[in-house]
Amino acid sequence: MSSCSTCASKSGCSKDIKCDFIKPKYGRIRHVVGVISGKGGVGKSSVTGILAVQLRKLGYRVGVLDGDMTGPSIPRFFGINEERTGYAPTDVKDVFKFIPVETSLGIKTISMNFMIEEEEPLLWRGPVLGNALTQLFQDTDWGNLDYLLIDMPPGTGDIALTIMQQFPVDYLVVVSTPQDMVSMIVKKVVNMAEKLEVPIKGVVQNMSYIRCGSCGEKMNVFSRNTAESQAEKMGLPLLAELPIDPDFASYLEEGMAERYAATNKDYDILMEAFRNDENEIAKRVAEAKKKSIPFLDS
């Protein structure tokens, strides 16, 4: 999580807590995870969707916040891009909360794209987008969630900064392709997280290999360097390698990717990487000797 050393108000603040992270008003979220990449088009939204499904398979209550405000990738992954956000009254007169759209597996999802038409461009500048995302996070009725995954925009721009500084992010998951790892485009994001003291759990290498249609053998297509050695160079644990899969792309187009992600065995590797996640978080928090942080569910 970000800390006092990186806070803009540190000189005028006397609080005995690490930072005032924003909290959701209508729900309890135990862990917030940001999914980020060095550049666009590497499969960040796809991996966010697959990870949400795998965490669900582990029995967790999962939500997804679509932080990439300008594209409908998350609604499309779950095949819910025709859905619209509901609104419900709150205890305060004339104040409403958002009702997330639930996927077939019960993943609670919120996206700007549930509020606008898909072809409609969002002609908003960075700070306005940041405020809108904050509102989606705070004003959605999440209920009780174990994990909220945020599909972040690629790179180190305004919204990524807002999320890393102001959202109570437990850690980031970096998504990369082999070429992206070789060229170290990812390194900027890694450095940004380091500066803001946001932990990174590791890297998911997407489009890492292709499976031979006849014998099932895994073939590396982009680089002879192993994903492990590339991850090591970046100083990050390798969480999983996912294949280039033309079937996945077709299911995505048909809005059936959620079911495919739940049943294709190639994605179980991601479930295994997260099986012990809560213990790792607890260990990290204990090691950081945090004095007192404003837990989301307090």
Ligand X SMILES: Nc1ncnc2c1ncn2[C@@H]1O[C@H](COP(=O)(O)OP(=O)(O)OP(=O)(O)O)[C@@H](O)[C@H]1O
Q: Which residues contribute to the annotated binding site for ATP?
A: 38-45
| Site map (CB under 5 A) of Mg ion, residues 44-73, x = contact | xx----------------------x----x
- What's the rounded Cα separation, in Å, for the pair 248 and 76? 13
- Smallest gap from Cβ 154 to Mg ion, in A, equals 8
Query: Which tokens go with 244?
Result: 């280039």
For 70, residues 6+ apart whose C-beta sits below 8 A from its C-beta are 121, 122, 153
For 78, residues 6+ apart whose C-beta sits below 8 A from its C-beta are 49, 103, 104, 107, 109, 255, 257, 258
- Indicate the residue among 244 and 262 with the shorter CB distance to ligand X: 244
Out of 53, 163, 204, 207, the residue judged to bind ligand X by CB under 6 A = 207
Report phi then psi at 146, rounded to 5: -85, -45
Q: Taking a C-beta distance cutoff of 8 angstroms, is the pair 32, 170 a contact?
A: yes
Which residue stretch of 17-25, 36-44, 212-220, 280-288 sits at the interface with ligand X (rule: CB under 6 A)?
36-44
HEC string for 79-143: CCCCCCCEEEECCCCCCEEEECEECCCCCEEECHHHCCCCCCCCCCCHHHHHHHHHHHHHHECCE
Please give the annotated binding residues, written as ranges: 38-45
| Residue showing the smallest CB distance to ligand X in the complex | 40
Out of 36, 38, 51, 73, the residue judged to bind ligand X by CB under 6 A = 73
Asked if 163 is part of the footprint of ligand X (rule: CB under 6 A), the reply reads no
- Indicate the residue among 4 and 221 with the shorter CB distance to ligand X: 221
- What's the rounded Cα separation, in Å, for the pair 77 and 195? 32
Report phi then psi at 55, rounded to 5: -65, -35
- Smallest gap from Cβ 121 to Mg ion, in A, equals 16
For Mg ion, how many residues bind (rule: CB under 5 A)?
Answer: 4
- Smallest gap from Cβ 141 to ligand X, in A, equals 26
Pairing of strands 200-211, 218-220: antiparallel
Which residue stretch of 41-49, 184-192, 227-235, 264-272 sits at the interface with ligand X (rule: CB under 6 A)?
41-49
- Smallest gap from Cβ 282 to ligand X, in A, equals 30
Q: Which does 208 bind (CB under 5 to 8 A by kind): Mg ion, ligand X, none?
A: none
Residues at the contact surface with Mg ion, assessed by CB under 5 A: 44-45, 68, 73
Query: Where do contacts with ligand X occur on this chain (CB under 6 A)?
Result: 37, 40-46, 68, 71, 73, 154, 206-207, 242, 244-245, 248-249, 252
